[in-house]
Amino acid sequence: MLTLTLRHRDPVPLEAECVCPDRLMSMAIADIGRLRVWHGNRQTELAEHFQITGDGSDGRVRVEGDCSRVKMLGSGMASGCLLIAGNAGMHAGARMTGGELIIQGDAGDWAGAEMSGGLIRIGGSAGNLAGAAYRGSVHGMKGGMILVEGDAGDEVGASLRRGIIAVSGRVGDFCGVNAAAGTIVVGGRVGARAGAAMRRATIVTLGPAPDLLPTFHVCGTVSPTFLKVLARHLESHGFSGAEKLKGRFVRSCGDMVSLGKGEILYQAD
Amino acid sequence: MIPVDALPILDDTFAEAFPLTAAKVIVTADHPRLALSAARAATGNASSIIGCDAEAGIDCELEPHLTPDGRPGIGLLFFGFSRPALEKALVSRIGQSILTCPTTACFNGLPVDPDKALKVGAQLRFFGDGWQASKKIGDRRFWRIPVMDGEFLVEESFGTTKGVAGGNLILMCRDAAGGLDAAEACAEAMRGVPGVILPFPHGIVRAGSKVGSRYKGLKASTNTEYCPTLASRVSTKLPPGTAVVYELVADGLDLASLEESTRRGIRAAMDCRSVLKVSAGNYGGKLGPHHLHLRRIAGADFGYGVARC
């Protein structure tokens, strides 16, 4: 395993998109240290910011220290395992296509934005726009899975196209806004205007019934089989609270300002 | 006449088996009785590839913790001449017999090679008339089709493997009741092997066939050599005193499973006092590449079978 230990807690953000297991696994430590990273408006070498030890040939990288000001960790990664033993800054795992990104602390905004494969586990809370589309993009997350043990901010899964986002805690406003497909599971309260303009996606809330937009129409009480399959899948990844997915849900279809084939499911009892 | 206490003879012959494309389907439902009803309907009229679109049967019952949706389930095996033929049979059978049964869902039970997968849910989805929705969970895609009790969930693709069909045993028995008991015991033993089905009703065939007929256009006709009522009129393979003959036909996901099933069947049959002789059907080795030699499969430790016959 390759270990990168942050040398400082500089408030100036660092953009370290080169910290990906698949990129580092074939490189010598000296070469890794010479990788270029932006520190504010200045290009620097990675070794200025991280102490680098170990061997990444097994595809495993561990990052130590508070990286809440380090952006783009694991962005674009395609394989391997990146463990961040603390917080991660913005864009962690953005546009990743495979592998596993584990963030033991909190993640900043845009975690897993436009990712198309792989798994992101966030032990703490996620910021805004997890799994979302960047401004100007048609689609957000297009595959893979994001698991958040804590809460998540606004616009989780904005323009979601495919994939699963599961948040144990509560989420902010505009959850699943403009989503085309995919699934969002929320263990706690869902903020305002959930599913606004969504076309086909599913938002499942296991907490209190959400305040629905008037453009959502209740279509009965259901116990969808796919949620039972999803529960198994989430349980196999250690997601807490998945058992509740096997219960009965009120199905509210929308958003009728859009295609109207999306759904918000909230617990019937 | 063979004495009543004589031991059965294990014929020195082989069953001739051949490859067929196989698929495994898992059907689940809220209650085991519903899953079983759907399973029986989906595997109905699927005894022989000669006259049916597929050979099919129930492989095993599955406890809820073994099914994809955590509900009670049944594992089914289907065998067809080719992937297109099997795909057509699965779409028809799942669409008519599982989709229509209350609370059911339908899952693939084999690894999927995209180049060899059967598009089942991908075709059945159109029953949703535009209201179907897909969900991708892990690397598996499912289709949710709205139906009158909620949704029917079916997996998009089903994996295939090269199965082995045509395993068989022929029991020649001295009396009707004892012969039926022997055939039932034999069938029970054979279907106890995972990955093996006995596609005929109750697992037992009373109408074994030979290739061709004196009537033009008929592909198969009654196997006169094994009909006790014709024993004095035609060339016969029956030992004196044979009252009834039953055949056990088995298909397996692989040759090893089929051989194990055959071995268990031989042992069960040889324990039955009514059985005069245990044999097997073949086509002189011209049809299938797999030859299940009864004495080899029974094993060298098989005392009164190989050693005394």
Cβ separation B134–A224 shorter than 8 A: no
- Does residue B189 share a domain with residue B58? no
Contact residues, chain A, for B144 at CB < 8 Å: 224-226
> If pLDDT is split at 50, 70 and 90, which confidence band does A250 have?
very high
User: Across residues A1-19, what is the average pLDDT?
Assistant: 94
Cβ separation A224–B153 shorter than 8 A: yes
Cβ separation A229–B151 shorter than 8 A: no
> If pLDDT is split at 50, 70 and 90, which confidence band does B4 have?
low
* Residue of A183, A226, A246 lying closest to B153 (CB–CB): A226
Q: Is residue B46 part of a domain?
A: yes
Q: Is residue B4 part of a domain?
A: no
Give the pLDDT of residue B309: 33
CATH code of the domain covering residue B262: 3.30.70.520
Give the pLDDT of residue B304: 45
- Does residue B52 share a domain with residue B174? no
Residue in chain A closest to B68 (alpha carbons) equals: A229
Cβ separation B135–A200 shorter than 8 A: no
Q: Is residue B1 part of a domain?
A: no
Give the pLDDT of residue A123: 97
pLDDT, tens digit (0-9, with 9 covering 90-100), for A71-105: 999 999 999 999 999 999 999 999 999 999 999 99
User: Across residues A107-133, what is the average pLDDT?
Assistant: 98
Contact residues, chain A, for B141 at CB < 8 Å: none
Q: In angstroms, rounded to a whole number, what is the distance separating the alpha carbons of residues B197 and B282?
A: 19
- Does residue B110 share a domain with residue B183? no
State whether residue A217 sits within 8 Å of chain B by CB.
no
Contact residues, chain B, for A261 at CB < 8 Å: 131, 133
Contact residues, chain B, for A201 at CB < 8 Å: none
Give the pLDDT of residue B301: 59
Q: What's the domain range around B145?
A: 20-161
Cβ separation A228–B70 shorter than 8 A: yes
| Boundary of a domain, candidates B106, B128, B161 | B161
CA distance B108 to chain A (A): 13
Q: Is residue B210 part of a domain?
A: yes
Q: Is residue B284 part of a domain?
A: yes
pLDDT, tens digit (0-9, with 9 covering 90-100), for B69-78: 999 999 999 9
Q: Is residue B142 part of a domain?
A: yes
pLDDT, tens digit (0-9, with 9 covering 90-100), for B277-305: 999 998 888 888 999 999 999 985 555 44
- Does residue B203 share a domain with residue B128? no
Domain parsing of chain A, residue ranges: 106-267
- Does residue B54 share a domain with residue B107? yes
Residues of chain B contacting A, Cβ within 8 Å: 28, 68-71, 105, 131, 133-138, 142, 144, 150-151, 153
* Rounded percentage of chain A residues whose pLDDT exceeds 70: 100
User: Across residues B20-37, what is the average pLDDT?
Assistant: 98
* Rounded percentage of chain B residues whose pLDDT exceeds 70: 94
| Boundary of a domain, candidates B94, B129, B161 | B161
Residue A160 token pair: 């979601």
pLDDT, tens digit (0-9, with 9 covering 90-100), for A190-245: 999 999 999 999 999 999 999 999 999 999 999 999 999 999 999 999 998 899 99
State whether residue A39 sits within 8 Å of chain B by CB.
no
**DSSP symbols for chain B:** ---TTPPPEE-S-EEEEEEEEEEEEEEE-SSHHHHHHHHHHHTTT-S-TTTSS-EEEEEEEE-GGGSTTSS-EEEEEEEESSHHHHHHHHHHHIIIIITTSTT-EEEE-S---GGG-EESHHHHGGGGTT--EEEEETTEEEEEEEETTEEEEEESEE--EEEEEEEEEEEEESSHHHHHHHHHHHHHHHHTSTTEE--SGGG-BS--EEE--SSTT-SEEE-GGG-GGGTTTS---PPTT--EEEEEEEEESSHHHHHHHHHHHHHHHHT-TTEEEEE----TTSS-SEEEEHHHHH-TT-IIIIIT-
- Does residue B241 share a domain with residue B199? yes
Residue B306 has pLDDT above 50, yes or no: no
| Boundary of a domain, candidates B161, B182, B215 | B161
Cβ separation B70–A162 shorter than 8 A: no
CA distance A157 to chain B (A): 16
Give the pLDDT of residue B307: 34
Contact residues, chain A, for B70 at CB < 8 Å: 228, 231-232, 246
Contact residues, chain A, for B105 at CB < 8 Å: 225
- Does residue B150 share a domain with residue B25? yes
User: Across residues B243-268, what is the average pLDDT?
Assistant: 97
* Residue of A163, A200, A230 lying closest to B133 (CB–CB): A200
Backbone angles phi, psi at A19, to 5 degrees: -80, 80
Cβ separation A202–B136 shorter than 8 A: no
Residue in chain A closest to B152 (alpha carbons) equals: A225
State whether residue A232 sits within 8 Å of chain B by CB.
yes
ipTM for the complex shown: 0.93
State whether residue A226 sits within 8 Å of chain B by CB.
yes
Find out whether the peptide bond into A255 is cis, omega within 30 degrees of 0: yes
* Average pLDDT of chain A to the nearest whole number: 96
Give the pLDDT of residue B285: 82
Residue in chain A closest to B69 (alpha carbons) equals: A229
- Does residue B152 share a domain with residue B276? no
* Residue of B131, B133, B142 lying closest to A229 (CB–CB): B142
> If pLDDT is split at 50, 70 and 90, which confidence band does B8 have?
confident
Cβ separation B144–A224 shorter than 8 A: yes
For the CA atoms of A228, A164, A171, A66, what is the dihedral angle to 10 degrees?
130
State whether residue A200 sits within 8 Å of chain B by CB.
yes
Residue of A143, A262, A148 lying closest to A213 (CA atoms): A262
pLDDT, tens digit (0-9, with 9 covering 90-100), for A146-199: 999 999 999 999 999 999 999 999 999 999 999 999 999 999 999 999 999 999
- Does residue B286 share a domain with residue B238? yes
- Does residue B227 share a domain with residue B204? yes
Indicate the number of domains in chain B.
2
* Residue of B131, B136, B150 lying closest to A162 (CB–CB): B136
